[in-house]
Amino acid sequence: MSILWLLCPIIAFGSFVDAIAGGGGLITLTAYVAVGLPPQTALGNNKFASSSGTLIASIRYLAHSQVSLLVGVVAIVFSFLGSGFGSLLATRYASTYLNYLLVFLVPALALFMMLKPDFGQARSRSKLFVVLLGMGTGLVMGMYDGFFGPGTGMFLTLIFTSVLGLDLLKACGTARVVNLASNVAALAVFLRHGVIDFSIAIPCALSAIVGGYLGSSLALTVGVKVVKPVMLFVLAILLLKVVVGMF
């Protein structure tokens, strides 16, 4: 019970962040490990709770027409393919080199967001361009998620708005739907292997639902004024995680 008093507020906050910008797993997974859960149980519990929070956020974005179904469907299909390949790579290669790449990439992305005056504004793209880039985005980010993982939702949001031309709010909603699909697929594996501690997972899932609802509601109400700062916050956490992981 004492663990839940500590975990539940953190899970709610992580889900709140995730519903706005993605990357909440950087907060929640760290919390599960910090309270002493075994790695596999931590991963399983994290997927159970995050799937619940992401489901609520996805429903909210869908209800407000802030999801590009074309981009979402294409990215989901190819993210499954990429995730399988990324997981295979993870069994054969260490993520050390990716850490070095992210040390330079993450600050560059943060500068791009801060210095680009029209960041997050919708831009016209041909349907063919959107489909092809959606395929590529799903494949590459699926590989990243399977191989390394942290910040996948935030990267999806960034690519959907900067490359595919979605406005920032619709990019957030679309990224949540894509994340939901990958979360459910991973959750099925964890359920099959029986590594989820439901005495912890269920209260945390309820906390994630609250966080997901509040986060998506805030994003839908305030828009880019809250999404952009939260994305920069997630980038800062990701950079810290990568740097710490190098030592």
Number of domains the chain is built from:
1
pLDDT at residue 242, rounded to an integer? 85
- How far apart (Å, rounded) are the C-alpha atoms in residues 80 and 76? 6
Q: Are 155 and 182 in contact (CB under 8 A)?
A: no
- How far apart (Å, rounded) are the C-alpha atoms in residues 158 and 142? 15
- 247 residues of the chain, pLDDT tens digit each: 578 999 999 999 999 999 999 999 889 989 998 999 988 888 889 989 999 999 999 999 999 999 999 999 999 999 888 887 876 776 677 667 777 888 898 999 999 998 888 888 889 899 999 999 999 998 998 888 777 777 888 999 999 999 999 999 999 999 999 988 888 888 888 888 888 999 999 999 999 999 999 999 999 999 888 999 999 999 999 999 888 877 7
Residue 227's domain comprises 2-245
pLDDT at residue 236, rounded to an integer? 93
Residue with token string 């957030």: 172
Predicted TM-score (pTM) of the model is: 0.90
